[in-house]
Chains A and B, each alone.
Chain A
Amino acid sequence: MKKLMKIILQFIKKIKIGDLLTIFIFIVLTGYLASILWNFPQGEYLKIQMGKQVIGSFSLNQNVIKIIEGPIGKTEVIIDSGKVRISKSPCTKKYCLHQGWINKLNQTIVCVPNQISISIIGARTDYDSLNY
């Protein structure tokens, strides 16, 4: 234990005074960005995008499975009673699957290799339905 403390102390000695300033600046920057980007209520719609193309916006208040075709295969998205997750994807690392469920506004899960992103967008407060 003491040896560990000694090693850690040695490491901390390396930090120069200017470094502390750098560290401080980056902590403030991160904290500021987090407070802006993370301050969100529950969302109501899911936007699915494949590359530049918006596949569509779907209500979170349903139970449905969506399959999206991307450049390396099919990604499966499950919407279930107000939350959504990616259940299947052809990528190797499966990071997108391990993210689990999301349901808060602006939360996003992406599968980079298959260029698919799913993100929670807000209730359409500007209109109740779309005429087209």
Chain B
Amino acid sequence: MHYNKLILILIFFLTGCYQNETMQKKDYIFGTIVEVTIYGETEDNATHAIDLVFNEFHRLHRYLHPWEKSIVQDINQSIKNQEIYTTQDEEIFSIIKHNQELELKTHGYFNPAIGKLIQAWGFHADQFATDRPNSSLIDNLQRNLPHMSEINLHNGYIGSKNKNIQLDLGGYAKGYALDQAKKILRENNINNALINIGGNILALGLHGDRHWVVGIQNPRKPSPIASIILKPGWSIGTSGDYQRYFIVDNQRYSHLIDPNTGYPANNSQSATILFPPTESSGTLSDVYSKPLFIAPERLKYSLAKELGIDFYMIVMADGKISISSSMLNLIKWHEKIDENNITVH
């Protein structure tokens, strides 16, 4: 019995000295699993860098939380009380400004001011609702839909005349965190890494002598439908109806609310986009997958073009796949895909 313990302790020390090709650590932040993989660094360097990244994630999780105590909640409370929120915090200013730009760019399909609507559908909790909300409540909220443009930002002041604004940066925070992680890793001389926050992934450098490869989840099966390489700096994001949702009367209600109807968008099962290396590629890969998911089919493709998205794949509600030709060339299927079920754009 005691020998086992001794061997265990020995193994503990031995594995401490061992240097792996890749070092991967996981944690549970943002209400989901985050995973950072670093290639070609000593275990100490890699661990140190990953710890810094995880610390930043914890900070952002508390900082931007959609429904627990956070600066976002404080701002929401001020707006509700029709008070001005004063702060010297530059970060929240630039975040709100960015979100205002993004609402315009996505023609309102990405609208973080509709927190009340998302809350009404029960998605402001770790455990989701089990029933539909009152339809008159939803219609009321939708008719009086607030917009990011109604938020006024001045030097040190944040305020709005519309007290129905409730900021929910849930569709932005993870992507933003990816870009922050990218900065931290680069600052610490880590140039080859893969960062995965709840499925949203950003690639830095290479995996040795090959590119990083990511699997893409099948929205209806516990296996990947395909895999694709992420060249250095590229990121991938997917919006789907298969993680945060509830089912009532055989109807699925996901957390992706269509601002035009007030109801969860249900024309798609998932929308995946790849975004090229830019300053905010992580953020945009998270944000831009949403309008592609929510917008009606006839608008999806023009929207993609407008937003500069060359690589996208949408699994429609009936399971048929709409994919861009660039994406089709790069993708590697893990399932047999019927040619009749694919449309290429």
Contacts and interface: CB of A to CB of B under 8 A. Distances in A.
Chains A and B in contact, CB within 8 Å: yes
Interface of A: 54, 59, 61-62, 80-82, 124, 126-132
A61 B21 CA distance: 13
Interface in B21-35: 24-26, 35
B15 A82 contact: yes
A131 B212 contact: no
Interface in B1-16: 8, 11-12, 15
A107 B199 CA distance: 29
A132 B26 contact: no
| Secondary structure call for the B interface | strand
Nearest to A56: B33
Interface in B235-249: 236-238, 240, 242-243
Nearest to A64: B26
B257 to A, nearest CB: 20
Interface in B199-231: 199-201, 207, 212-217, 222, 224, 227
Given A127-B214, A130-B214, 8 more contacts: A62-B26, A82-B15, A126-B215, A127-B213, A127-B224, A129-B37, A131-B216, A132-B198
Contacts of A80: 8
Interface residues of B, number: 34
Given A131-B199, A132-B238, A61 B215 contact: no
A54 B213 contact: no
A126 B334 contact: yes
22 contacts: A54-B222, A62-B25, A62-B26, A81-B15, A124-B215, A126-B215, A126-B224, A127-B213, A127-B214, A128-B212, A129-B35, A129-B194, A129-B196, A130-B196, A130-B215, A131-B200, A131-B201, A131-B217, A131-B238, A132-B198, A132-B216, A132-B243
B41 to A, nearest CB: 15
Contact of A130 (B11, B25, B199, B207): B199
Task: Output the residue of A81, A126, A130 with the most chain B CB within 10 A.
Answer: A130
Contacts of B242: 132
B75 to A, nearest CB: 30
A132 B219 CA distance: 8
B272 A131 contact: yes
B24 A59 contact: yes
Task: Output the residue of B212, B227, B237, B240 with the most chain A CB within 10 A.
Answer: B227
Task: Output the residue of A62, A80, A81, A127 with the most chain B CB within 10 A.
Answer: A127
Nearest to B33: A56
Nearest to B216: A131
Contacts of B26: 59, 62
A126 B243 CA distance: 23
Contacts of A128: 37, 194, 207, 212-214
Nearest to B235: A131
Nearest to A82: B15
